[in-house]
Amino acid sequence: MSGKKPPAPQPKPTFKEDPGFAQAVQNYETALRAMQEHKFEKAKGLLEKIIAGAQTALIDRARVHLNLCNQQLAGASTSFKTHEEHFDYAVSLMNSGQFDQSRGHMEKILKQNAKADFAYYGMAVVDCLTGQVESSLKNLGEAIRLNPQNRFQARNDSDFQNMADDPRFTELLYPEPTDPPPSSSEQRKR
């Protein structure tokens, strides 16, 4: 053994150490604010800079938002290649506070695919954020019925905090365990 210690892992660069990353984050935040203000042309330019840059951590997110900007600038032409792409668009509308438009797109997805659990989940979120508790519970229940994994996602989703104290919401997320079937020895005793 040489007695040398292995090199210590290098910490991730901070904003001060990587000014390119700091600029990309600033552009991203400014673009999101511009989108919230419906200044899609301004946001588009900032997002294109991020995509052209070397900051891979932000490129995928920037592409989703750039897609939204392009659709808004093209008169909200809504031709999507997949239900997932359409869903991403609906979520971006939700995130920018356009709840009615988001709901409309979720409904279109469900008309095309009645088993799209993710669209029911999205509707549940929109309904919760707009105070429509009954509809939110119904849509969340359907999302969980179609895909039980949605139960676990909802447990950690801060968008449902408005319903955290509602016992019906708790029952959806933490159902009572069903009684196990009787064992063969119990059946013989009967």
Spatial distance between the Cα atoms of 59 and 38, rounded to a whole number of angstroms? 21
Residues 64 and 34 in one domain: yes
Spatial distance between the Cα atoms of 81 and 59, rounded to a whole number of angstroms? 20
Higher local confidence (pLDDT), 98 or 182 = 98
- Of the pLDDT bands very low, low, confident and very high (cuts 50, 70, 90), residue 2 is low
Q: How many domains does the chain have?
A: 2
Residues 88 and 71 in one domain: no
For 45, the domain range is: 18-77
Q: Give the torsion through C-alpha atoms of 153, 155, 157, 161, to 10 deg.
A: 160
In a domain, 90, yes or no: yes
pLDDT at 106: 93
Residues 99 and 133 in one domain: yes
pLDDT at 148: 95
Token code pair at residue 165: 């104290």
Per-residue pLDDT reduced to its tens digit, 57-69:
888 888 888 888 8
Per-residue pLDDT reduced to its tens digit, 119-174:
999 999 999 999 999 999 999 999 999 999 999 999 999 999 989 899 999 999 99
Percent of the chain residues past pLDDT 90, beyond the cut? 39
pLDDT at 48: 86
pLDDT at 128: 95
Residues 51 and 101 in one domain: no
Residues 71 and 153 in one domain: no
Residues 98 and 67 in one domain: no
In a domain, 29, yes or no: yes
| Alpha-carbon distance values, 18 to 12, 45, 50, 62, 169 (Å) | 10, 22, 15, 19, 44
Asked whether residue 75 carries a pLDDT value surpassing 80, the answer given is: no
